[in-house]
Chains A and B, each alone.
Chain A
Amino acid sequence: MFDFLSDYDDPSLLGAFWVTVQLTVFSAIGSLIWGTLLAAMRVSPVPLMRGFGTAYVNIVRNIPLTVIIVFTSLGLADIFGVTMGAPDDFELKYFRLAVLGLVAYTAAFVCEAIRSGINTVPVGQAEAARALGLSFSQVLRLVVLPQAFRSVIGPLANVLIALTKNTTVAATIGVAEAALLMKEMIENEAQTLLIGAVFAFGFVVLTLPTGLILNWLSKRLAVKR
């Protein structure tokens, strides 16, 4: 029943899911950094940065991810000639473009999660820190963000799980991850339901532990007030 799975070795089932994991990890790191910067902009005292952060989040999170990913390929790569440092290696080029698209999209959600965390830190703490003579970036780095992060691990876990599943969109620009292998199998095997179940199970295997671990972590690290 499952013997067709062993016919695939480039990529294999595990290999394809490994690419999914790589996409997830790189995009998660990228969007955590970019999302934190966006959140810092949205609470900063400089109106221009606040405006940029607000505009970015509201525009990007309202564009379908497929449009963003396809744009990185048809727009950035084809029209503007962006090669992501790999003009002659399509595999690497489209992988990086996909990560770029996923980071741009996911960062908007990370930003909003972190901003909600910042709102859980009592205003008195920021005021006290400022009264001690700390600058805005010091207040953020030393006092507010450490507490904010600890309170938003749960929401960030949601974003991470959504990101894991969103990586399937990278198949539309030809990144050889799980969803692309699934399309190949469906094309060859005429066993749609079974193949669908195999890949759904694969994603559950990836996301379920993520959710459980981060949930445990969020309880452990929660700021007791």
Chain B
Amino acid sequence: MKLRKVTAASAAVFALALTATACGGDDSDSGSSSSGGGEKIKIGIKYDQPGLGLKEPDGSFSGFDVDVATYVAKELGYEPNQIEWVETKSADRENALSRGDVKIIAATYSITDERKEKVDFAGPYLLAHQDLLVKSDSDITEATDLNDKKLCSVTGSTSAQNVKKDFAPKAQLSERGGYSECLSALQTGQVDALTTDDSILAGYAAQDQYKGKFKLAGLKLSNENYGIGVKKGDTETVNKVNDALEKMVSDGSWQKAVDENFGPANYKNEKAPEIGQIVQ
């Protein structure tokens, strides 16, 4: 008797959980109605990456991703004041697009085959490489130097996985919650280098409090093709965004945005990638 009650109760809970998930998955169309007018466009960015996507203490946003997204939004017919920025952390990006929470995502979103199964990409708009940020007096110049070094990166990130699998399986890798935590370890000498995409590193090195203390080692350890994520199947938006990106490169705004955001710190950007040209 008691057992049957328990079974019934757990069945009820399970059914409830199922319906709840189903609800979450279904209403995906809201917010994706197209083109300008008086309405807003929701764009997903990162909030915590200086140089790419950063929420400033005063509530404004800065960074290369933000500049690119603003330009693209303008070409799609939205003024800057019609943009609503939404934070999309790495794990949320696919779901945010498929649910329709955001129209496009420009958040250091590398184009990979796994992700292409879930979302469509416009671009790429930047070719970044995994690199090292080291103290300005460091002598690391080659990838082969890394195996006896202490490195730091963000827990679970692609960069951390690359270190473990590919370039330096024997190196000591400290995985931490955020890049700022790695920077503090780099400053106190607990680690020799912080590793992730050079664009992100350049953004950190260009921050006022770190100017002159750190530099990029200039190693091209991997290729990361940043694309703009669009909901799967929305070819119309992909094409529009691609046109906007082409225009941004040809009228010089692209180079201007690169110089502004990554300026100091020995960062040599790749030239603007062609649309659809993915460097493996």
Interface residues of A (CB under 8 A from B): 10, 70, 73-74, 77-79, 88-91, 94, 171-174, 176, 180-184, 186-190, 192-193
Contact = CB atoms under 8 A, between A and B. Distances in A.
A190 B188 contact: no
A192 B90 CA distance: 11
Given A74-B184, A188-B161, A172 B117 contact: no
Contacts of B158: 187-188
A90 B150 contact: yes
B27 interface: no
Interface stretch (B30-38, B173-181, B267-275): B173-181
A180 B161 CA distance: 11
A47 B181 CA distance: 41
B164 interface: yes
B152 to A, nearest CB: 9
Smallest CB-CB A-B distances: 8 pairs: A183-B156, A174-B175, A90-B172, A184-B156, A190-B118, A186-B91, A190-B94, A172-B177
A72 to B, nearest CB: 12
A95 to B, nearest CB: 12
A190 B181 CA distance: 26
19 contacts: A70-B177, A73-B176, A73-B181, A78-B184, A78-B188, A90-B173, A171-B156, A174-B155, A174-B174, A176-B175, A183-B156, A184-B160, A186-B90, A186-B156, A187-B90, A187-B91, A189-B114, A190-B118, A192-B92
A192 B185 contact: no
Contact of B164 (A10, A187, A188, A192): A10
Nearest to B25: A193
B157 interface: yes
Interface in B81-125: 90-92, 94-95, 112, 114-115, 117-119
B156 A190 contact: no
Contact of A171 (B91, B95, B155, B157): B155
A188 to B, nearest CB: 6
A174 B176 contact: yes
A73 B177 CA distance: 11
Interface of B: 21, 90-92, 94-95, 112, 114-115, 117-119, 150, 155-158, 160-161, 164-165, 172-177, 181, 184-185, 188, 190
A8 B94 CA distance: 21
Contacts of A193: 21
B170 to A, nearest CB: 11
Contacts of B90: 186-187
A181 B156 CA distance: 7
Nearest to B171: A90
A5 B174 CA distance: 24
B222 to A, nearest CB: 14
A183 B89 CA distance: 12
Given A77-B190, A79-B188, A192 B94 contact: yes
B174 A192 contact: no
A195 B178 CA distance: 22
Nearest to B187: A78
A78 B190 contact: yes
Contacts of A190: 94, 114-115, 117-119
A126 to B, nearest CB: 39
Contacts of A74: 181, 184-185
Contacts of B184: 74, 78
Given A174-B155, A187-B158, A192-B92, 20 more contacts: A10-B165, A70-B181, A74-B181, A88-B172, A90-B172, A90-B174, A171-B156, A173-B174, A173-B176, A174-B173, A174-B176, A176-B175, A183-B156, A186-B156, A188-B114, A189-B114, A190-B94, A190-B115, A192-B91, A192-B94
Contact of A187 (B21, B156, B173, B190): B156
A186 B118 CA distance: 13
